[in-house]
Amino acid sequence: MAPTRRDFVRQVTGGIIGTWALTAIPETSLARYIIANDQSVAGDDETFWQVVRDQFPLTHDRVYLNNGSLGPSPYVVLEAVKKAMTDIDISGEYGGWEAARPRLAKFVNVDESEISLTHNVTEGINVVASGLPLKRGDEVILTTHEHAGNALPWLNRARRDGIVIKTLKPAMTATENLNRLDDLITRRTRAIAIPHINCTVGQVFPGKEISRLGHDKGLFVFLDGAHGPGMLNLDLRDTNPDFYATCCHKWMCGPKGTGFLFVRKDMIGICDPVWVGGGMSTGWDMTTEPPRLEPLDPTAHRYDFGTQNASIYIGLGAAIDFIYHVGMDNIIRRAKGLAGYLQSELLKLGDKVEMLTPTEEQSRGFVTSFRLKNMAFDKFNEYISGKGFRIRVVPESHLNCIRISTHLYNNYDEVNRFLDEVRKVA
Ligand SMILES: Cc1ncc(COP(=O)(O)O)c(C=O)c1O
């Protein structure tokens, strides 16, 4: 008889590590659940974090410091995807992706009716940039530090409809950024559309205060949240933007090609769906005269449609479980601790390093960006790749800097080895 899920959970194959249980599901699986039992784990508890690292197939042949681009998944996610994919092809049954909506809603503390399923961040951004009621001359505020995924949909709206894009040049503190944002708002401003955390230097913008400022001035507030979930203890009800677009394939370490768009309830009737299809209308009928489209689905489901790959959204559930099992606060302690250590060691190199990521606690996360006085960013990339490190450089916005991401599977030894290389060339 096939073992039941309960049997799997009972199998404690790795024994007890401190107060944390390590269980397998199932026996043949490479995946292990690490149950932190809601315990607080120190950011430098190497025994625990080594067990976490062991849950990732990520190669040991090089040091991966590029989670800001792509978050490798643990075995438990990969196996969930593979199993779901196989099950679907065994049964031939349609559907199953809807299961992700309530899971995501709970993860970021909103209602499931406010979640639209997307495949990446850019898709969600396009829904908002093309669907907001904006007209020629209306101003939208972005920053000079955009990823193409946020810049292009708004620039395209400008090209098509004549909206005007204004840019905020990020300062190093949250307060100064709020002041600069306030200064940019004019009578013609209609929306703020900036990153919650930028891709260039990993700066965390004060989302809640930006939402408040925007709403006080009667503006739409959209946050590009590519780096939010999995890096922050994200509570979108509290942050309160009107829209938040993100993906699950970065810091959530979920399946690639999963994402979601949060649309606050009262915005669902305001943001017009531009691309439409099966599932987003509850009443379309081609036999009436004239044929009709409406009513549209009353939830944020009106922004997604058509057949989806259920297996990746099912795998996403496993990624959310994995985060819960390790504990979001624990992950923050570890990954932000690594980033903070890296930053403080780099700062010790004085004027040989130009630090671009803010040092202010609330404005930094798991990403550290800097320039070297002695070596151009692209030369450094060549050098460090040769030493077995995968990093990202940032040519965007002519920043020409080096970007290092640290996440839950990285460790202090890797950061120290990276620092040794930096010291050699600096
Ligand atoms: C800030 C930011 N916005 C948007 C994107 C685009 O994300 P995606 O490729 O998932 O659409 C990225 C990707 O790195 C990003 O960092």
- Both structure tokens of 128: 């908002």
Q: Based on the structure, what is the number of domains in the chain?
A: 2
CATH number of the domain at 339, please.
3.90.1150.10
What integer pLDDT is reported at residue 27 of this predicted model? 65
Nearest to 19 by CA among 57, 47, 50: 47
Whole-number Å distance between alpha carbons of 276 and 356: 41
Range of the domain at 379: 329-425
Rounded to the nearest whole angstrom, what is the distance from the C-alpha of residue 27 to the centroid of ligand 1? 37
Q: Say what the pLDDT of residue 38 is.
A: 74
Domain of 186, CATH number, reads: 3.40.640.10
Contact present, 299 and 114 (Cβ < 8 Å)? yes
**How many whole angstroms separate alpha carbon 279 and alpha carbon 293?**
12
- Work out the percent of the chain whose per-residue pLDDT is above 90: 90
In terms of domains, do 268 and 234 share one?
yes
For the segment 288-306, the average pLDDT, to the nearest whole number, is 97
Residue 245 β-bridge partners: 224, 261
* Residue 19 belongs to some domain of the structure: no
Task: Compute the radius of gyration of the chain from its Cα atoms.
Answer: 23
Q: Which of 66, 204, 232, 247 is the best mutation target for the ligand 1 pocket, counting ligand atoms within 8 Å of the beta carbon and taking the most?
A: 247
pLDDT of res. 98: 96
Residues 241 and 196 in one domain: yes
User: Does 4 reside within a domain?
Assistant: no
105 shares its domain with 243: yes
Q: Name the domain boundary from 267, 289, 321.
A: 321
DSSP-derived 3-state class of residue 124: helix
| pLDDT tens, residue by residue, 50-88 | 999 999 999 999 999 999 999 999 999 999 999 999 999
- How would residue 36 be classed by pLDDT, with cut points 50, 70 and 90? confident
What mean pLDDT do residues 227-250 have?
A: 98
Of 272, 271, 225, the residue nearest 252 (C-alpha): 225
Cβ(224) – ligand 1 distance below 6 Å: yes
Question: Do the domain assignments include residue 207?
Answer: yes
* Residue 3 confidence (pLDDT): 38
- Average confidence (pLDDT) over 257-269: 98
Is 143 a pocket residue for ligand 1 (Cβ < 6 Å)? no
Q: Indicate whether 50 belongs to any domain.
A: no
Q: Is 415 in the pocket of ligand 1 (CB under 6 A)?
A: no
Give the integer Cα–Cα distance in Å for 223 and 204.
11
State if residue 146 touches ligand 1 by the CB under 6 angstroms criterion.
no
The confidence score (pLDDT) of residue 85 equals: 97
Among 300, 321, 342, the domain-final residue is: 321
Residue 117: the pLDDT is: 98
Q: What would the two tokens of residue 141 be?
A: 């505020």
pLDDT band at 17 (very low <50, low <70, confident <90, very high): low
The predicted-structure confidence for 352-410, as pLDDT tens digits, reads as follows 999 999 999 999 999 999 999 999 999 999 999 999 999 999 999 999 999 999 999 99
Question: Residue with structure tokens 């590029």?
Answer: 66
Asked whether residue 225 falls in the same domain as residue 271, the answer is yes
For a pLDDT cut of 70, what percent of the chain falls above it? 93
When the pLDDT of each residue in the chain is averaged and rounded to a whole number, the result is: 94
As to burial, measured by CB atoms within 10 angstroms (0-12 exposed, 13-18 middle, 19+ buried), residue 149 is buried
Q: Do 339 and 249 share a structural domain?
A: no
218 and 284: one domain?
yes
243-264 average pLDDT score? 98
Asked whether 105 and 112 are in contact (CB, 8 A), the reply is yes
Ligand 1 within 6 A of CB of 226: yes
Per the CB < 8 A criterion, the answer to whether 376 and 398 are in contact is no
Q: Which of 249, 268, 263, 245 is nearest to 193 (CA)?
A: 245
In the numeric block, the tokens 């209602």 are attached to 111
Show the tokens assigned to 330.
Answer: 């624990």
Q: Whose CA is nearest to atom 1 of ligand 1?
A: 199
Backbone phi, then psi, for 284, in 5-degree steps? -65, 145
Give a yes or no: residue 400 inside a domain: yes
Is 26 within the bounds of a domain? no
- End-of-domain residue from the set 268, 288, 321: 321
Lowest pLDDT segment from 123-127, 154-158, 324-328: 324-328
Residues 408 and 292 placed together within one structural domain of the fold: no
Side chain identity, residue 412: Y
Which of 29-43, 93-107, 297-311 has the least mean pLDDT? Answer: 29-43
Ligand 1 atom with the smallest distance to the CA of 120 is 10
CA distance 222 to 176: 20
Closest to 241 measured CA to CA, from 260, 225, 258: 225
- Are 274 and 314 members of one domain? yes
Ligand 1 centroid to 20 CA: how many Å?
34
Co-location of 198 and 288 in the same domain: yes
Predicted local distance difference test score (pLDDT) of residue 39: 85
Q: Average of pLDDT values for 201-209?
A: 98
pLDDT tens sequence across 319-346 = 999 999 999 999 999 999 999 999 999 9
- Taking residues 5-22, report their average pLDDT: 48
Q: Are residues 363 and 334 in the same domain?
A: yes
CA angle, residues 358, 177, 156, in degrees to nearest 5: 105
Residue 276 and residue 350 share a domain: no
Reference 368, options 323, 333, 415; nearest CA is 415
Tell me: do 131 and 236 sit in the same domain: yes
Residue 195 CB less than 6 A away from ligand 1: yes
Please state, in angstroms and rounded to a whole number, the distance separating the CA atoms of residues 383 and 376.
11
Q: Is residue 214 part of a domain?
A: yes
Look at residue 2 and tell me whether its pLDDT is greater than 60: no
Residues ≥6 apart with Cβ < 8 Å to 99: 310, 313, 314, 317
Residue 197 lies in a domain: yes
What is the length of the chain?
426
